[in-house]
Structure 1
Amino acid sequence: MSLIKGIHHTALRCVGEDEMNRTASFYCDILGMRRVRSWGNGRYAVCMIDTGSGLLELFADAEPGRRPGQVDHIALATDDVDACVAACRKQGLAVLQESGPVFIPSEKPYPVCFAFVIGVAGEIIEFFNEL
């Protein structure tokens, strides 16, 4: 039985809220995607855009000078965050952030549980469960 249901979201870091909003506008207004939630402001602004088969999460806190093509992390949808973390630990992978419930204060409160690990190739993997 697979612990993973699919990709939940991919995250991109933008340099400031203005760039984040321009990026969101491109994906929504030009490519026809839909912004589903947002929270925070300034450097702490975040939004999620529905791609049709997962989400694109945009953060406004990137440092100037980031390289093109950088993706912050890959979030995999799961019903059991703790089992995913345990499986990674068994393989000797480093856990960056333990799991725990979080209520993201977007327009409509968004209860989630997630954890972060460093993958085999150095990628950051988030295991994500919408509660």
Structure 2
Amino acid sequence: MNRMSNSTFKNTGFHHIALKVRDFDKSVGLYQDTLGLNMALSWGEGKERACMLDMGDGTYIEIFDGGQSNGALQQEPMIHFAFLTDECDAMYNAALKAGCSSHMAPEDLTINGHEKDVPIRIAFVIGYDGELIEFFQYR
């Protein structure tokens, strides 16, 4: 797929997704230490803590403390979010090693689009608070 500019508004793009988590330090560790995101900004104290972690391209995952999730898969209204990567299998395995559970092992697929076919490799894990994380690789 090719990048396209917004036809209505200039300089738009995806900025962040926000998660409210039960164990702030453990979740920050998953995204920062295991998946390689960099701390861009942090603020607050105790259950009022929050931070933004850079995914590597100027988009962020914002994490807030004080979540109540039981860790079960949460899919509505958000279905999942995806990391674009050249290392689908490695990210999947690192997440499993860090304690995430598998939702779908790495698999080669082709999106049969109307415009063109797009060969991909994808995998999914369930994060600590039930967030569904996809690792998306173009082949």
The TM-score normalised by the length of structure 1 is 0.48
Structure that is richer in helix per residue: 1
Larger radius of gyration: 2
The TM-score normalised by the length of structure 2 is 0.45
Bigger relative CO (Cα 8 Å, ≥ 6 apart): 1
